[in-house]
């Protein structure tokens, strides 16, 4: 129970600077012991600035470092399976950035590799661990809005400067992310809805490229039904006039409204009564996700985001995109 888990990061890019990397240093029982980037000078710079003892320019060297207990894969999704299978073969704990992989087929392959060796596999759908969404889950479980009937999410944003310039961006490369920003952003929300309302039984949708700025899809609409009978609808457009991010959960006795990405107050409506709670995210947004990994490894609780849950989310995403 007192073991210190030493972690290594493959791909110490922007997401690891503030969102995730420092959490592996702040959580008691974890240490960030090594980082890897193909540009070894950038790996060295990250290690120096974050007080990380080791740095590598080759992923195999980090994975096979005898001091490393766990590996966090923070590379673009098209390399997740490649590295994850190496980590599984080495018999080490793993956390993979979301989405778990570009395809459901690859997710199944990754999850199977870790299940066969009985090695913990986590996926960085960290919203499952954030206090603001645990508050939403608590309201649902306390039947504050009665039986849940329906959930709806609308997310839109204008094309950014990279989109308009048509410069390369792996997030909108159809070979890496068929759904473009849908894969990158909507995956967070859909995974969260599964956490809040249970697994999804059936899903479908339409995905198109309206703007022609890049190769992946930029407009998606979807419908789904949870095994519990709760219906769901969503619309995601990445060429709209302004940014909007609104989720509404409708129940027989009220409604809950919140945002997936924006830190707007969470609002509970029950007839004429309204309750609003403002819960901010931590400085390192993956902190509670990483804390829950430590709790899981020390048998204090079960982590809400695993290879199995992320594999189910990938199936739902592909169904909405019309890929399965």
Q: What pLDDT sits at residue 240? A: 97
Per-residue model confidence as pLDDT tens digits over 109-119: 999 999 999 99
The pLDDT tens digits for 296-307 are 999 999 999 999
What is the pTM assigned to this prediction?
Answer: 0.96
Q: What stretch of H or E contains 54?
A: strand 54-56
In 10 A of CB 119, how many CB atoms?
17
Residue 42's H or E segment, with its range, is helix 40-50
Q: What would the pLDDT profile of 175-197 be if each residue is shown by its tens digit?
A: 999 999 999 999 999 999 999 99
Classify residue 167 by burial, with Cβ atoms within 10 Å: 0-12, 13-18, 19+: exposed
- In this structure, the strands spanning 148-156 and 231-237 are parallel
Name the E strands within 163-322: 200-208, 219-226, 231-237, 244-251, 255-258, 266-270, 273-277
Q: 323 falls in which pLDDT band (50, 70, 90)?
A: confident
Whose CA is closest to 151, among 60, 228, 51? 228
Q: What is the pLDDT of residue 1?
A: 58
Per the DSSP assignment, residues forming a β-bridge with 250 are 150, 255
Tell how far CA 155 is from the center of its chain: 16
What pLDDT score was predicted for residue 66?
Answer: 98
Q: Is the pLDDT of residue 321 over 70?
A: yes
Q: What is the pLDDT of residue 205?
A: 98
- Nearest CA to 184 out of 202, 166, 206, 169 is that of 169
- DSSP-based three-state secondary structure for 171: helix
Within 8 A by CB and 6+ apart from 277, the residues are: 135, 265, 266, 268
Mean pLDDT along residues 46-58 = 98
> Can you say how many angstroms the Cα of residue 10 is from the centroid of all Cα atoms in its chain?
17
Q: For residue 216, is pLDDT > 80?
A: yes
- Torsion angles phi and psi, residue 142, rounded to 5: -85, 5
CA 59 distance to own-chain centroid: 22
Q: List, in sequence order, every residue forming a beta bridge with 83; answer none if it has no partner.
A: none
User: pLDDT tens across 79-91, in order?
Assistant: 999 999 999 999 9
Contact 249, 255 (CB under 8 A): yes
């Amino acid at each position: 129970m007192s073991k210190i888990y030493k972690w290594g990061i493959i791909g110490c890019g922007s997401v690891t600077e503030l969102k995730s990397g420092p959490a592996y240093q702040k959580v008691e029982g974890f240490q960030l012991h090594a980082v890897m980037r193909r540009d070894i000078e950038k790996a060295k710079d990250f290690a120096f600035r974050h007080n990380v003892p080791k740095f590598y320019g080759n992923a195999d060297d980090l994975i096979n470092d005898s001091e490393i207990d766990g590996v966090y894969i923070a590379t673009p999704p098209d390399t997740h399976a490649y590295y994850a299978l190496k980590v599984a073969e080495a018999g080490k704990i793993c956390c993979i950035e979301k989405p778990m992989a570009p395809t459901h087929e690859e997710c199944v392959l990754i999850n199977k590799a870790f299940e066969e060796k009985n090695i913990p596999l986590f996926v960085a759908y960290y919203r499952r661990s954030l206090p603001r969404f645990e508050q939403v889950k608590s309201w649902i479980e306390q039947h504050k809005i009665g039986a849940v009937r329906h959930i709806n999410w609308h997310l839109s944003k204008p094309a950014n400067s990279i989109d308009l310039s048509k410069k390369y961006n792996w997030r909108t490369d159809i070979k890496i992310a068929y759904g473009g920003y849908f894969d990158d952003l909507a995956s967070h929300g859909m995974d969260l809805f599964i956490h809040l309302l249970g697994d999804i039984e059936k899903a479908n949708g339409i995905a198109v490229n309206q703007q022609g700025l890049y190769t992946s899809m930029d407009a998606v609409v979807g419908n789904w039904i949870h095994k519990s009978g709760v219906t769901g609808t969503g619309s995601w457009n990445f060429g709209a006039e302004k940014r909007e991010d609104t989720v509404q959960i409708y129940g027989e006795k009220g409604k809950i409204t919140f945002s997936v990405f924006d830190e707007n107050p969470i609002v509970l409506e029950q007839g004429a009564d309204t309750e609003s709670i403002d819960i901010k995210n931590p400085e390192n947004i993956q902190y509670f996700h990483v804390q829950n990994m430590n709790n899981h490894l020390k048998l204090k609780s079960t982590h809400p985001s695993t290879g199995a849950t992320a594999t189910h989310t990938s199936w739902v995403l592909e169904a909405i995109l019309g890929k399965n």
